[in-house]
Chain A
Amino acid sequence: MRKEVIGPFQLFAMIVLFELGTAVVVPIGLESGHAVWISILLALPGGILLYLVFADLYRQFPDLVISGYTRKILGRWIGWPLSLLYLPVLMYNGSRNLREAGDLLISSTYDRTPIFIINSIMVIAVMYILYKGIEVFSRTAEIYFWLIVIMGLVSNFVVIISGLVHLKNLFPIHPGEWLEALGSAYPSIWIFPYGELVCFTAILPHFSTRNKVKKTGIGAIALSAFLLSFTHAVEMSVLGTDIYSRTTFPMFTTITLVNVANFIQRLDAIVILTLIIGVFFKMSIYCYAAVSIAADLFNVKEPRRLVIPVGVVVLFSSFVSAENYPMHLKDGIAFLKYILPFMCAVIPILLFLVHRFRRRFGLYK
């Protein structure tokens, strides 16, 4: 079979969609109060550095996914079990995104629909697209990138022209708040959403132009950081710290306040669409990463055969893992604090350092 390749713009679109994913809809970095938009920007350099680690590892092992080079760098006996850890983490994180989408849909419109139905419809779509392969997926991402950009422009535009933005809610930022902003930037925002880019270690082997990997990635991360920061700043300036911190989906609440000339109002559909698209791509990338790592670890020649099992596991863990949304959030905080940093940052940096070390001292055979 021909090797599937993805081009620079496709990678760019995928990173942007992945980063925006759920982060644009749910509140992030709650510790920093009204300076959350600054936290997002403060975490950007860290995010870029982390991506450079991934990109460097890719350039060293252009044909391998993360589990492949983990075994090369750390040896088969440490590398294999360590990479195996990625599978549950990736699938659980994918299922968390699914849960969030399902919960917003249920609390916004589909209050009488079982979450199982909502989530399984989404999973069917994800399985379909993954079955078609990464190339088809990346092309779809390209199209939806434009759609997201257009919807973002429209919704920001209507929020601004309906006079809801109060800059008072954003300024001034006092010295103490800068520290708080920094505190929520590292590690929490650094890991979510930037650290989650670890999934792209499974996608980069399909990248077509090796020397553009850094430029494309940094561009995409920077763009998504600015978009995220801007969106959260708008949400914060509309809602104020109090409501922003209490609402489960600030973007949704923001858009419901819009009323332009008594005609353009109730644009909830845009938010719901944004969320569906964001979650769809984020979850697909998680599932894809899980599929390719599993295929690599267990020597499955046709990775597509793993799509259905992974999808089913993600689907069930999405509503079995937590009893209700508050529990889900609580789990998420612990997960974000203890497990994700290890998988997203510690292991890749460790790999990077060990690889440098071994190459420097000629420890490879």
Chain B
Amino acid sequence: MRTKLIGLLTLYLGVSVLLTGCWNSRELNDLAIVSGIGMDKLDDEDGYRVTFQIINPTSSAPSTGASSSQPPVMVISSTDRTIFGALRKASRRMTRQLFFAHTQLMIVGEPLARSGINNLFDIFERSHELRLNTTVLIAKNSDAASVLKLLTALETQPSTGLVKKTQNTSRVWGENRRIGVFEVINGITGEGDFTINGIQIIGSAEEGKKKSSLEQTEAPAGSIMSGLGVFKNGKLISWLNGPESRGTQWLLDKLEETSVNIDSLDRNKDISVNVFYSKTSVKVDLQEGKPVFHIHIREEGSINEAGSFVDLSKEEELEKLKKELAEQTASEVKMALKAAQEKRSDIFNFGNELKRTHPELWKTVKKDWNSVFAEGELDLQVDAYIRGTGMRLKPYFPVEKRE
């Protein structure tokens, strides 16, 4: 009796499970893996044009990649008032369901960025497929779709290529840093403003779509990381370039490694220092209603190239170079701060810092922080150290030759 009952129960459960099937099971052949998303503004109506860069597995895999005639990715667009709506609408053009767990990149076109991006990111928080560490880029001077359509040499996946480009340049050059959705959301919710990396198309965007563009040594089109977009109230207001951009990374303590050219005795910027360590500490306080930013930067570098004669075996020469390095750093930091203060946009988290350390002071300036920030004074101290000089102390060219 008892065993019969248990048997029946098992049978019932087994049958019910088998009949109802596997709800969330999806075969890989039924998924279209989206590697990048592009967001653009529609000219005439509200809503977005969302562009999806979809991986074509047969021509991306190592075993078959080169031989296949198809490009490694395909790009489709669809329009809707929400991103989710757009991705579901895209099904009208897709044979497979779009799958977002491997999306690494989100590009926002400049027009959309200028009109405000604050409410783009909710789906990244809410969805379990989209990731908070997706890299965000702003397509400078173009729409996002054309950036997503470019093919890249070396990397089979253009989106992976762009993400790697961001990582690579932030690691060795330092004008950009890795900025993901998570950081953007923190920037939006925190006090003050934030910045996002820009990417710019160089060459012909039309040519860059073709697979044949990769068959030349010099691709007719490509993309380049260019500067930082400054966002105020969620709207792109200006671009920081070159030293301003690098100064921003210094102020944010995000500089990993960079190369700084400093003056030698007689010529301008012909000694290259590789800064491989930099640490910035920030303290903000209010003095008579005006904020004072106490910045202390400690950096370490090594001489990697000398374009004119320096005798690095001499202590005073090194001291001079150290001073030069510190001055150069300070000037870039000042440029960055000045640029931000002109725009009345606190992109350096100074507001957050003040709020964290002195909540009661913060309350007094909270309302018009932007203008208070613009008045702020910089108390900058840079400690530069030169740790290495490479394999030589003196360059091979003698002192005489330098005239």
Contacts and interface: CB of A to CB of B under 8 A. Distances in A.
- Verify whether A and B have any Cβ pair under 8 Å: yes
A247 B359 CA distance: 24
Interface in A220-255: 240, 242-243, 246-247, 253
A113 B186 CA distance: 32
Interface in B213-259: none
A256 B23 contact: no
B182 interface: yes
B389 interface: no
A109 B22 CA distance: 13
B132 A113 contact: no
Given A110-B23, A112-B24, A243-B186, A257 B132 contact: yes
Nearest to B189: A242
A114 interface: yes
B322 to A, nearest CB: 29
B357 interface: yes
Contact of A256 (B24, B133, B189): B133
A240 B349 CA distance: 14
B190 interface: yes
A172 B357 contact: yes
Given A256-B131, A256-B132, A256-B133, A111 B186 contact: no
A156 interface: no
A256 B190 CA distance: 21
Interface in A254-277: 256-257, 259, 266
B69 interface: no
Q: Which secondary structure dominates where chain B touches chain A?
A: helix
Contacts of B24: 109-113
B4 interface: no
Given A107-B128, A109-B128, A259-B133, A114 B189 contact: no
B193 to A, nearest CB: 16
B332 to A, nearest CB: 24
Contacts of A111: 24, 128
A114 B23 contact: yes
Question: Which residue, B20, B190, B356, has most C-beta atoms of chain A within 10 A?
Answer: B356
B185 interface: yes
Contacts of B359: 174
A113 B356 contact: no
Contacts of B131: 256, 266
A113 B23 contact: yes
B132 A253 contact: yes
B361 to A, nearest CB: 12
A321 interface: no
Given A114-B23, A243-B125, 6 more contacts: A112-B23, A113-B24, A117-B23, A242-B189, A246-B125, A256-B131
7 contacts: A110-B24, A112-B23, A243-B185, A256-B132, A259-B133, A266-B101, A266-B131
Interface of B: 13, 20, 23-24, 101, 125, 128, 131-133, 182, 185-186, 189-190, 356-357, 359
The 5 A-B residue pairs with the shortest CB-CB distance in the complex, in nearest-first order = A113-B23, A112-B23, A242-B189, A108-B128, A110-B24
